[in-house]
Structure formats: structure tokens, C-alpha cells
Amino acid sequence: MITWPLAELLPHAGDMILIDHIEHCDEEQISTRTTVRPGALFNRADGSLPAWFGIELMAQSVAAYAGCRARRNGQAVELGFLLGARKYTCDVESFPAGAQLHVHAQRSLEDENGMGVFECHLRGPGIHATARLNVYRPPQAASYLAEAGPEEPLS
């Protein structure tokens, strides 16, 4: 059972955290759950969430997986990047308001340089979406994002 708050596992805050609960997480996979709530930040006027947003739900699930793994190993939770989604398919145009969505992400590849690939499935009532996510967690992510200062003029 995962007892850490999601805000401590994801590099997001407030309304940007779109998953509600981690159902299961081990060394190879994670299962998460969320409910589509009308009036949320990215919802349409009818309360639904566009189906392409399934990629973000999958990506946040992978980020939660990385956060859980870091916490289990006594490490800091670090920033990671979604490099791309391959073969995203979804059998609906939107996720209706009130729908409970379940995401399962299975690690299929990870190397020592921080590159990873996850096979993801999102399911709900009459809903099935799949994608393969390519992710990257650079060593020392904070320094990776630091901007270089202005260069000194040549004399």
C-alpha cells in the first residue's frame, strides 16, 4: 500500500495533479485511478476530458511510479520528461464526466542513462486507450534545467 501523498511523488502541484490514487506499485509496474470531475482545469464545457489527455494521465502514472521507487530507495523524487508517446489509440473521443479511469503502466525498458519505455493502458466504462511512453530522467535534473547566464563579451 502506498501511503505517500501524490504531491510528494509527482513534480506537479495543485490542479496539475490529475491522478487521484495509486492502487498498486511495485518494481515493474503501477496502477492508478482518477475520476473525471466536471469543472476541472482541462475539461470541456460538458465536463468531459478530451481523450488525447489520456497521454498525460499515463505520463503522470509513470511519474508516480518513479516517485514511489525513489522514496522506497531513500532517494529524492526528481523531475523526469515525457519524450513521446507512440501508437496512442483510444476508442472514444472524450472521457465523460464522472467516469472512473484506471491506468496501468508496465516498465518494458530502462537503462542506466535514465531512458525508459512503458507500455500503458487506460480503462474505464466503455473506454480503452493504449500507448507506449518514452521517458527520460536525467541525472541531476535540476542542473539539467538551469539556464546559463549571459556570456561575457569578448574583449
Domains of the chain: 6-140 (3.10.129.10)
Distances in Å between the Cα of 131 and the Cα atoms of 54, 106, 119, 122, 138 are 9, 11, 6, 9, 22
pLDDT of residue 4: 85
pLDDT of residue 130: 98
Of the candidates 121, 108, 114, 111, the one whose C-alpha atom is nearest the C-alpha of residue 137 is 114
Cβ–Cβ under 8 Å, residues 27 and 36: no
pTM for the model stands at 0.89
Across the chain, which distance is largest between two alpha carbons, in Å?
68
pLDDT of residue 113: 87
pLDDT of residue 139: 77
- Residues in a beta bridge with 133: 85, 118
pLDDT of residue 146: 66
- Residues in a beta bridge with 30: 25, 105
Low-confidence ranges of the chain (pLDDT < 70): 141-155
